[in-house]
Structure 1
Amino acid sequence: MRSRCLVVSLASPVRRMPSFTSAMLSLALCAAYGPHALAEGAFALSSASFRAGGNVDNAQVFNQDDCKGGNRSPQLSWHDAPAGTRSFAVTIFDQDAPGRGWWHWAVAGIPANVVSLPENASSSGFLKKLGAVEARNDFDTDGYGGPCPPAGKPHRYVVTVYALNTADLRLAQGRPALMFDHEIGTATLGSARMVVSYGR
């Protein structure tokens, strides 16, 4: 198998150098920073439910109080995860909510051979069949809770998929999303994300 560092770096602006020089620089950077330093950017996230930079559709909006959406977790797909990936995790975080932000979804324990989640994976039972576990979101419910910001300026929602170096974070269903975030951070090999918006 070819070095991921070499492949990614040769696809970058380094390719304008003579091939030998480019290869030596790639190998030097790999040695200095590890195989995932230059691989960052190859790992990518896409969605049939969300468009990067776009607005959240009603199907993904929370369904409680004055928010009347479908509360369906989004379809997500990813590719080119770093070598050594043992599992995946996904989070959705409102970075514009007051205070420390607002956790809408955190799921861990997605097997390494899974590269997509269907829409509504959270409440349909799909994740449970995979053996994945979901955190308690900041609405105080387990699983996915869609956007439902106060009326006014739209909020930005960061959707992230993480490639992890372990298949067991020792997390249990219903633990706080902040705990999931901490444990995910200790095992992350790489991540891919997109940002979407929603306002009322």
Structure 2
Amino acid sequence: MVYSLPARASCLLVSFLLLASACGTRAPYLNPVTPGTDSSTGSPQVVVEIKPVDTSGFRNEERERLGIDLSAYFTAFEVTVRNQTPDTVTLEGQGAQLLDDDRKPYAVLSADESLDYYRSGGISGEKIVIVPKTVGVAKEEMDKILQLRLKNADIPPGGSGYGILLFQKVPTDKCHQVSLILNGVHITGENQNREFKFTFRCPES
């Protein structure tokens, strides 16, 4: 026997299936392979600290602190840049790149790209909006994403900059040698940006 569904019911079913797929795919947990702190050569220095964001699990402290379950939508890293030089350090929020096992590059998401990726449930290339939230909750979380993102900043001597780099989720089968390259750090008076590199891996299954 063959059953048919009204067009509206079919659309709802498709949306539900997409939603179920999105909810079941989270960013893999990443462990640092190299130290989570890197310094520029010479003295005084620019010090960069990187920490993978993991908001998975029930009553997760990171999720409570940040106010949003970032791991459901992004591969994310907290970044702190401390300026220990006598000059101003310029930090470019878009100056970062992620490489997976296949050395496939992931560009850091812009503000608009981050919101689009959130609306799609963290599914790359998905054009259907499937965010399972009320309008109020969705707006609150999108505001939080914009607030947390690493932004361009001029860091004075002795100061620090902070924010979160947001990327499309690295697949769980491509996360055994993940490199994060931060090259958006520039010291006033120098002719080139400083580059900082960090390596991560997901736990063996």
Higher RCO, 1 or 2 (CA under 8 Å, sep at least 6)? 2
| TM-score, normalised by the number of residues in structure 1 | 0.37
Bigger Rg, structure 1 or 2: 2
| TM-score, normalised by the number of residues in structure 2 | 0.37
